[in-house]
Structure 1
Amino acid sequence: MPLVTTEKMLLDAQAGHYAVGAFNVENMEMVMAVLQAAEEMRSPVIMQTTPSTVKYAGLDYYLAMVKTAAARTNVPVAMHLDHGDSFDLAMQALRTGYTSIMIDGSHDAFEDNIALTRRVVDACAPSRVSVEAELGKVGGKEDDLEGGDGNPFTDPQQAKEFVERTGVGSLAVAIGTAHGLYKGTPKLDFDRLSAIREVVSIPLVLHGASGVPDDAVRESITRGICKVNFATELRIAFSDGVKEYLRKDPDVFDPKKYCKVGIANVVETVKGKIAVCGSAGKV
């Protein structure tokens, strides 16, 4: 089926009290793996790329792969720009054919974040492409994404004002997660999440979920999270599969052989995340 936007996908998740997994894809093999997992679990799915991934191959390359994957299935698939770091990149993704766009102005001042987000929302509205924004600063580092320091948590009243003034479709909130690998077990501020949910009606997004305990992810969904982002764990799964094969057969020269193991690892990882999100069987 054709690519879909995330608007209905996330509103359905909100009404059904589950979340949709959003998985960062780095190559064709990861696209294939995410689709296979979504089909086996009968779950809607979001595939996404960060600015650094886009620089590696281009928006058109990644869109072509995901569009081809979506055409082979009746599982809803959306193509999302993760952490779009400028208006220009957001517009490039829109023109290329991405069906969901994040504009991340979280490192800007509050008013500047509002202005940038509103500009992207207005530009995407004629195409009915959903826009995600971020308020607060998700910590850690992934690719060239730097997290926030000091007190990066999302303020509920600011979140309410931000959503009202921007008209954004979904909001990524900072409640204690971080990008990349955790050094210890992350402690999420569930009370803050509940407070945000009380004053914000649109779907909420959890970034930095790789490494967050499953029970914590489930609790976040119970309290209003409708989209959960996973990146690092997929990269580790794929790389571990390739390395495992190369250890056993260091003379191999056919990439298809070791990539199959990487694909299998990613499939199992994604299936596990879909189960945690509660979206299995929702197609």
Structure 2
Amino acid sequence: MNNKFYLTISLAATLLSFNCKSDKKEPIETPPTVESPTATPTEDEDIEEVEKDSSVTNEVPNKKETPAPTEKKSDVKKNIASNVSVEGAIKITAIEHASMVLETNGTTIYIDPVGGSGFYKGINPPNFILITDIHGDHLDVPTLEAITAPNTIIIGPRAVKEKLSPALLKNFELMFNGLSKGFKTSKVELNIDAIPMYNLREEALQFHTKDRGNGYVLSINGTRVYVSGDTEDIPEMRSLKNIDIAFVCMNLPYTMTVGSAASAVLDFKPKKVYPYHYKGTEGYSDVKKFKNLVNAGNKTIEVVQLEWYDQNM
């Protein structure tokens, strides 16, 4: 009995010792974490992440995410009826300031086109371009290069010629004060006289010297149109005869006062007068006052006001 008891106790102790050793030899491992949101990357991981981000920025961006370019002024030109007038067979479009377009019987004449090609969207390419002077509100070479067609005739004084690119000089016609030229198409007879434009006031003489720029008188199928360019109320303007339509400037300090413009108009008595080129360094000239002065002196002269400026821009 005693021997069997001691044998049983010994066997139980041996088994217990074996189980304890087995537990220590094979510990249970914790499963690896897939991603720890709070883990701080090592220095190597930082560099790798930056390189990956850099490669992303080199990809072609989504077109929708690309910011639209800022619109140029000429791309948002007003399109309103108040900048258009029809005189018989001649359609007049006031573009801005000194720039305008005359259209008649399939012939299109641009005068002092500046500001970019966007101003002239929807208008036929020019058969003729008349330029009065070298200042930026009358002469704009990039605009000329953008709008000129292969057969466009450009007309201007010598000072303008000296500013043009070789491509624009191919069809250039030089005109100086006192010179006349005639052109004919199947439907239009166009005669152009270049007349003086210059300053009279002592303080303004440096702006426009005599014989540098041209004013123009256009005879379009017999309708006589005067374009003053930048000038004061010079004797050559006051002595004009038989003008049907006149475009007369009035802005300080560069040209003349409203009173001087009205006085000159009352001298040469056009049938209709369009005030244009009336924005100066101090803002807009008082074109209503101009109209009142003209009508007070001669009620038969019609003053026509077009919208030459988008004052919201």
Higher radius of gyration, 1 or 2: 2
TM over 0.5: no
Q: Which of the five TM-score ranges fits, normalised by the shorter chain?
A: 0.3 to 0.5
TM-score by length of 2: 0.34
More helix by share: 1
TM-score by length of 1: 0.37
